[in-house]
Structure formats: structure tokens, C-alpha cells
Amino acid sequence: MESEGNGGESTTRNLDDVLRSAEDWYIYLRKKHDGETIAWTVAMGVIAWLAALLILALSSFTLLHVFFASYLLEGITVITILAVAVSLLTYFIRRRRAFPFVELRNLIDKMKNASEISSYDYLKLVDQMHDVLLAVKKGKLDSAQGDGIVAFIVVALFGFNIGLGLLAGIIVYLYFRYEAIREYDNETRRYLEAKREFIEGL
């Protein structure tokens, strides 16, 4: 059957395309994930540091009725350690979430080094890509929290109103959360329906 001319050649070419596209897709996603991990690590560290500083300053003012410099300076060391801990925690949580990426990389490497690859292997590859895609869509739920926090900070700072900031933060968070869940569900449905249609079409 393999020697059936154009049909066989184009099938092989199509399968090669699938592997090449999978690798490009993986590289793009991995870079994106790594970039976002760095951004999240830095942002969470800075937010934790600023929030702790604000609490420290307010507590010194409430307790001592004056901004006490030495109290603040001693506290800064503690909050810096806290911020670094938050950053590291964020980094490791995101690294753990990169697990499907590692599996996909291993599968691509295995297929690239294999002497013969079957459509069964390609099916596994597409399934793995689908898992990674779902992990990415799920990750957008975290981004929704980040977007909510940013909206809260911006509105609270520029509107001088914490209540309004809170409301804006919640609305932004709920909107992006809704979008993330919708995308996740759509992708799951699309893939399952495509599989079902293929089998029914046989």
C-alpha cells in the first residue's frame, strides 16, 4: 500500500508536516510559558513586597502614631524575605504546571528518533497536544486573577476609592474567568466531537 504513488507520498508528507508543526507549536508554547512564569514570579514578588510594606507602615502608624523609621527598616528585611519566598513559590507552582509540556517534548523527541512512526503515534501526539492546550486554557484562570488584581490596583490608585477598585477587580476577574472556562469547554467539546465525527464517518 505504501507504494501506491502520490497517495502514499502525500500521506508521508502530511505526517512529516504534523511532526514539524507539533515541534514548532511546542517551542512557541514553551517560550510563552517560560516568559509568563518569569513575569508572574517578578509580579507576585513585587506585589507581596508592596503589600507587606503597606501593612508594616500602617501598623507602625497605628501602634506608635508616627512612621517610625527604624521599625520600618527592620521590617523591610523581613518583608523582602517574604517577597522572595512568594516569588519562589509562584515559580515552582508554575514549573509544576509545565508537566504536560515535558511529556510532549519527550514524545516529540521519541518520534524524531524513531525509525518508523505510525499514525497511532501521531494520534498520541495530537492527544498530548490537546492535553497541553487544555492546561494552557486552564492557566488562563490564573491570569484572570492577575487581571482582577491589576484592575483593582489601577482603579483603587487612580480613583482613590478602594471600594470601587474592589468592584472593578471582581468584575474583571469574573469576566476573564468566564472567558477562560468557555474556551476550555469549547476546546474539550471540539476535540471530542471531531473524534466522534471521524469514527462515524468511517
Partner 1 sequence: MRACEIKLEKPDMYVLARFLDVLYRDGKPMKKTNLQSLIGIRYPRFIEYLDWMMTKGLVQKLDEGDSELYVLSPKGAEAYHRLVDWLRDMMKGMKI
In angstroms, the CA 48 to CA 87 distance is: 9
In angstroms, the CA 135 to CA 107 distance is: 17
Q: Is the dihedral of CA 91, 92, 95, 96 positive or negative?
A: negative
Contacts with partner 1 by CB under 8 A: the residue count is 35
Q: How far is CA 112 from the centre of its chain?
A: 27
Stretch that binds partner 1, among 67-75, 92-100, 102-110, 114-122 (CB under 8 A): 114-122
- Pick the binder of partner 1 from 59, 106, 118, 161 (CB under 8 A): 118
For partner 1, give the closer residue by CB, 117 or 153: 117
Q: Does 71 bind partner 1 (CB under 8 A)?
A: no
Q: Does 119 bind partner 1 (CB under 8 A)?
A: yes
Q: Does 160 bind partner 1 (CB under 8 A)?
A: no
Burial (CB count <10 Å: 0-12, 13-18, 19+), residue 1:
exposed
Burial (CB count <10 Å: 0-12, 13-18, 19+), residue 65:
exposed
Q: Does 18 bind partner 1 (CB under 8 A)?
A: yes
Q: Does 161 bind partner 1 (CB under 8 A)?
A: no
Give the three cell numbers for residue 87.
516569588
Residues interacting with partner 1, by CB under 8 A?
Answer: 1-4, 7, 11, 14-15, 17-18, 21-22, 25, 28-29, 32, 118-120, 122-124, 126, 129-130, 133, 136, 190-191, 194-195, 198-199, 201-202
